[in-house]
Amino acid sequence: MHDLIIIGAGPAGITASVYAARKAMDFLVLTGDIGGQTAWSGDIENYTGYQFITGPDLVGKFEEHMLSYNTSVKEGEEVIAVDRAGEVISVKTHKSSYQAKAVIVASGKRSKELNVPGEKEFKNKGISYCATCDGPLFNAKNVAIIGGGNSALDAALQLVKIARYTYIINNTPQLGGEALMRQKIEQARNVEILNNAAVTAVLGGKMVNAVKINHNGEEKILFVEGVFVEIGLIPNSDFVKGVEKNSRGEIKVNSRNETNIPGLFAAGDVTDVPEKQIIIAAGEGSKACLSAFRYAAQH
């Protein structure tokens, strides 16, 4: 029986673990990976204390801080169920099961898929959901980025330095995201922005060699060797039964990060907190841990 189990090791989960360690709690971190979406980020210029840092470098700093407390982390152990019986919350993974007085769900989000012909066939054969991870594989090649928000712009800013030519396929009349990021993209000479456009199929042989799009009502073929899908994210909340969620599947929390289930807390992008930023997730992780500490002390 642990005082606390933290599910996820992105900014929210890692920050929660640091606070739990400083409170001398008996706790465990269960996670599929370390870093979460931060590890996918390219250049980060708005995290306080760092005028510039890459996503992987920031994750390295987070992990170093977490492990400096000899934190017990079970990486690669994804949670498949969370249930509360009496005063005990059980957390089940595909390997084992654990019990705790309190649990923080900080499992973040995962990429949405296009759900068009060719997507499943060409996953890892030219289709990627992480420009930071796979961008270098497309050096001097033509690529397409699907999406028009911050994640798509971040991918474009990385690929503009690597790819020969980059198409941004955006299904709205104009790009969204931060103004400074848009400005940098619009000034790049090897980027073409296609607004009011949607991918209808991914084409290829052994690997991707083109995408079929509908652009302003006209069908076009773009010859590309890489496709980066950046159309949004889905919260990793399916494994939590009985917890109240909004229409997007995000876990509802109050200002203390409490859910409708006693002893169950949530933090970061998996929740309905309106803004999804690294620094906000980290702050929410600290709040969730302080709330969980008070709950565990009372039970």
Pick from 135, 159, 164: nearest CA to 223:
164
Rounded to 10 deg, the angle between the 179-187 and 150-159 helix axes is 40
Residue with tokens 């090791």: 9
- What is the side-by-side order of every strand in the sheet holding 197-204? 197-204, 208-215, 218-222
Q: How far is CA 198 from CA 152, 158, 172, 208, 231, in A?
A: 14, 22, 9, 17, 11
Q: Residue 291 is encoded by which pair of tokens?
A: 């709330």
Which among 43, 57, 83, 130 is annotated as catalytic?
130
User: 213: phi > 0 → left, psi -120 to 50 → alpha, else beta; which?
Assistant: beta
Which among 3, 134, 154, 269 is annotated as catalytic?
134
CA dihedral of residues 14, 16, 17, 19 (deg, nearest 10): 130
Q: Is 289 among the catalytic positions?
A: no
Q: Is 130 among the catalytic positions?
A: yes
Q: How far is CA 102 from CA 79, 216, 249, in A?
A: 15, 52, 22
**Are the C-beta atoms of residues 134 and 39 closer than 8 Å to each other?**
no
- Pairing type for strands 165-169 and 191-194 reads parallel
Measure the CA–CA gap between 257 and 71, rounded to whole angstroms: 22
Q: Residue 245 is encoded by which pair of tokens?
A: 């969620």
The residues annotated with a catalytic role in the active site are: 130, 133-134
